[in-house]
């Protein structure tokens, strides 16, 4: 069976920071993006596409606020829905053409998608999600004073407005995505999905927030039983000590390594951190499946294991500190009865006695190289 992908497109797949923030400039960038995606499709992969909308929804909101004396401003969730529409339109138009150029007459459809969030999510008290364009430090101070915006410096690229980014809990239109999967490439959860909360009477109500598209893509990947979560961004590999003389690219990340680097603050809060966290969640809850973080132009090579930063996949490639589900006899690499089937490189730790390690999904490895037995959590 062909592998199922959920592709998360970063902002650079939609808009070049060196071009004007116009619809025409965006479409030009999207056409290049579509050629890469079409090539993935030509190789036989099945896929759904999730895209960000930080820059676009910020501009839509700014336009609405600027014209408030002429027409009533649109609520934030409506601005998000508008961004889904026009970004989806650009992607499906460009991708349909790119597929046809490869003799693939395959439908592409954009699905307006709502995603349920928790109204009590602490993110509403701590905005972190960048939206809109970049500002100088002086412009940022002026916006904070005049409009009450919250702005933060974004990975050395300038200052951006930030808004709440609650975690996605449920994809409202997931049933439609599943129905469409075998018949079309679906563009869904655009901008992370339109954030809504569920009222006691069952109705949905939009809220002012932007869901991180990487977390939405991870949830979608779980819901459609994807084999690979492919997160595309500006860089070819995840790095530690980013921007420093001792910067180091990472070919592979174990869950334990990713957690440690995240705790050390190695990944930018509004940039690389959510990508790594989404990858961690996917492979932790789906043992044996892969998450890959790489650049758009290296996506095919990354799928073939030639580049990018990979997490999960073949357990034989994992380090002994990987988080998995199940229990193994570390002496023989055999599963213990009733606990699943996992081989683990921890069996190479000669000193383990009585040669058993219990692994529980989400908790890490118990006693990776210790000399005593371990009790279940």
* Identified catalytic residue from 10, 190, 213, 313: 213
- The Cα 159–Cα 162 span in angstroms is 9
Question: Which entry of 12, 170, 268, 288 is annotated as an active-site residue?
Answer: 12
Domain boundaries along the sequence of the chain: 4-315, 316-377
The CB-side HSE value for 23 (13 A sphere, CA atoms) comes to: 8
What does the pLDDT read at residue 16? 80
* 63 CB-near residues (< 8 Å, 6+ apart): none
Question: pTM (2 decimals)?
Answer: 0.78
53 included as an active-site residue = no
Q: Judge whether residue 211 has pLDDT over 90.
A: yes
Tell me the CATH number of domain 4-315, given options 3.30.470.20, 3.40.50.261, 3.40.1160.10, 3.40.50.2000: 3.40.1160.10
Q: Cβ–Cβ contacts within 10 Å for residue 17, how many?
A: 13
Question: Residue 204 in contact with residue 114, Cβ under 8 Å?
Answer: yes
Active site residue 248: no
DSSP string, 179-236: HHHTTSEEE-SGGG-EEEEE-TTS-EEE-S----HHHHHHHHHHHTT-SEEEEEESSS
The yes-or-no answer on residue 213 being catalytic is yes
Of 120-124, 149-153, 202-206, 306-310, the one with minimum mean pLDDT is 149-153
Instruction: Choose, from 53, 96, 129, 298, the residue flagged as catalytic.
Output: 129
Question: How much of the chain is helix, strand and coil, in % rounded to 5?
Answer: 35, 20, 40
Report the distance separating Cα 231 and Cα 353, nearest Å: 40
- Find tokens 């999510």 and name the residue: 121
pLDDT tens string 81-97: 999 999 999 999 999 99
Q: How confident is the model at residue 147, as a pLDDT?
A: 77
Residue with the two structure tokens 């989400």: 362
Catalytic residue at 129?
yes
Q: What is the pLDDT of residue 374?
A: 32
pLDDT range class, residue 128, cuts 50, 70, 90? confident
Mean pLDDT value of segment 266-291: 93
Active site residue 12: yes
Asked whether the predicted pLDDT for residue 105 surpasses 90, the reply is yes
80-89 in b/e form (b: 16+ CB < 10 A) is bbbbbebbbe
pLDDT tens-place string over residues 34-78: 999 999 999 999 999 999 987 888 888 888 878 878 988 888 899
Catalytic residue among 96, 193, 237, 275: 275
Say which of 10, 11, 58, 270 is annotated catalytic.
11
The residue among 148 and 104 whose pLDDT is bigger is 104
Predicted pLDDT at 8: 97
Rg for the chain, CA atoms, rounded: 22
Q: What is the pLDDT of residue 314?
A: 53
The answer to whether residue 120 scores a pLDDT higher than 60 is yes
**Rounded CA gap, 160 and 142, in Å?**
12
Beta-bridged to residue 229, according to DSSP, are 6, 291
């Amino acid at each position: 069976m062909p592998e199922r992908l959920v592709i998360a497109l970063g902002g650079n797949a939609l808009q070049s920071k060196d071009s004007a923030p116009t619809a025409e400039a965006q479409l030009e960038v999207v056409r290049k993006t579509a050629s890469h995606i079409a090539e993935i499709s030509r190789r036989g992969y099945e896929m759904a596409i999730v895209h960000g909308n930080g820059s676009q929804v910020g501009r839509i909101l700014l336009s609405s606020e600027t014209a408030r004396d002429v027409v009533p401003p649109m609520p934030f969730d409506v601005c998000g829905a508008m961004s889904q529409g026009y970004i989806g339109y650009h992607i499906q138009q460009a991708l349909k053409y790119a597929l046809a150029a490869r003799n693939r007459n395959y439908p592409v459809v954009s699905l307006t998608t709502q995603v349920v969030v928790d109204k009590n999510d602490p993110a509403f008290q701590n905005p972190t999600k960048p939206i809109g364009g970049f500002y100088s430090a002086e412009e940022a101070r002026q916006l904070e004073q005049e409009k009450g915006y919250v702005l933060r410096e974004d990975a050395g690229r300038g200052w951006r407005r930030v808004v709440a980014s609650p975690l996605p809990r449920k994809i409202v239109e997931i049933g439609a995505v599943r129905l469409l999967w075998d018949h079309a490439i679906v563009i869904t959860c655009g901008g992370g999905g339109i954030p809504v909360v569920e009222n006691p009477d069952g109705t949905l109500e939009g809220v002012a927030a932007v869901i991180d598209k990487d977390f939405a893509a991870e949830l979608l990947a779980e819901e459609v039983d994807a084999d690979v979560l492919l997160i595309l961004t500006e860089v070819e590999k995840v790095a530690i000590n980013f921007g420093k003389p001792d910067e180091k690219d990472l070919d592979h990340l174990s869950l334990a390594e990713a957690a440690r680097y995240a705790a050390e603050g190695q990944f930018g809060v509004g940039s690389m951190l959510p990508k790594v966290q989404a990858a961690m969640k996917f492979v932790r809850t789906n043992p044996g499946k892969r998450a890959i973080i790489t650049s758009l132009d290296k996506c095919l090579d990354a799928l073939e294991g030639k580049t990018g930063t990979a997490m999960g996949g073949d357990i034989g490639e994992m380090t002994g500190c990987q988080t998995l589900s199940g229990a193994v006899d570390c002496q023989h690499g055999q599963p213990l009865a009733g606990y699943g089937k996992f081989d683990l490189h921890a069996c190479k730790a000669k000193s383990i006695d009585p040669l058993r390690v219990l692994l529980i999904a989400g908790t890490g490895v118990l006693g990776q190289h210790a000399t005593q037995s371990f009790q279940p959590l």
